[in-house]
Amino acid sequence: VGANIHLVTKREYAAHGSIALAESLRRRLEREGKRPYVVPVGGSNAIGTWGYVDAMAELAAQTTTTTPRTDHPHLHGVGGPFTDIVLACGSGGTAAGVALGAALCPELRRPNVWAYGVCDTPEYFREYVGGILRDMGAPVEDIVGERIAPGASSSSSSSDGATAADAGVVGGVLRCVQAKGAGYAMATEEELATTAAIARATGVLLDPVYSGKAAHGLIREMARDPGAWKGRRVLFVHTGGALGVYDKLAQLQPIMEATGPSRRFDVADVETV
């Protein structure tokens, strides 16, 4: 498409960060007389966040009816509001949009929005989401809550990396949860086993970087404290990313072979036509 691509190494990205790198390039292009617009990682800024605000408005419309929709007669409403909305959080935009939309739409009745972080920390995401909301002119504390215990840990740790959300935070709808496990884009065998089990049971493919980690974290939380989730009506937001599975094929193969009729195809006797 005629675009110029400016490449950096993983080490350079880690050393400087996306914001500094993008701003450096923006200034360089402006000195050349150009008019660049910086799209942040994940499109997570005030403009990009409106996409999921609109998604929550669509969800609100679906919660008000169980009759077939006029625009898509084969689709029905979801039949009442959810108590909890769960999603993977990697750059903050999805969490900001879902939380803001959940708070703005009266039909949704302010559900808890659980943002399972696949990198960084719960405190980082609360601050970053708060920054996006401020740029949008939204009431930050009404969305992300207020910390009442200065210096308190934002989460209580556990052995598998999924944690209770935002200790010391009251109010708001957003609950940030640590679920990065071994690290960003690094999948554990337990996480991949959860992804494989969900695929077998539902036919829904989750990716190992985002939605797979969020689902694993949610299921572990439910198993750890089933009473807290009893009677809840939970919506899991699948944010895509299935292509990430290909990077984990070597890890997934033994899991699939051990749990189902999956095996490596022997091509030794294949005749080329």
pLDDT at 56 over 90: yes
Mean pLDDT for all residues in the chain: 87
pLDDT per residue over 182-221, tens digit each? 999 999 999 999 999 999 899 999 999 999 999 999 999 9
CA distance 38 to 223: 42
Q: What is the mean pLDDT of residues 240-252?
A: 86
**Residues paired with residue 114 on neighbouring β-strands, in sequence order:** 86, 175
Residue 156 neighbours by CB distance under 10 Å: 11
How much is the pLDDT for 155?
A: 43
CA distance 228 to 214: 18
Please report the DSSP string for 224-265 in residue order.
H-HHHHTT--EEE-----GGGGGGGHHHHHHHHHHHSS----
How much is the pLDDT for 76?
A: 55
Contact 142, 171 (CB under 8 A): yes
How much is the pLDDT for 159?
A: 38
How much is the pLDDT for 162?
A: 41
Closest CA to 143 of 162, 128, 121, 153: 128
Contact 98, 86 (CB under 8 A): no
Enter the tokens of residue 273: 């036509």
How much is the pLDDT for 263?
A: 75
pLDDT per residue over 65-112, tens digit each? 665 556 655 555 666 789 999 999 999 999 999 999 999 999 999 999
Enter the tokens of residue 169: 């935070």
Q: What is the mean pLDDT of residues 232-243?
A: 91
CA distance 116 to 233: 18
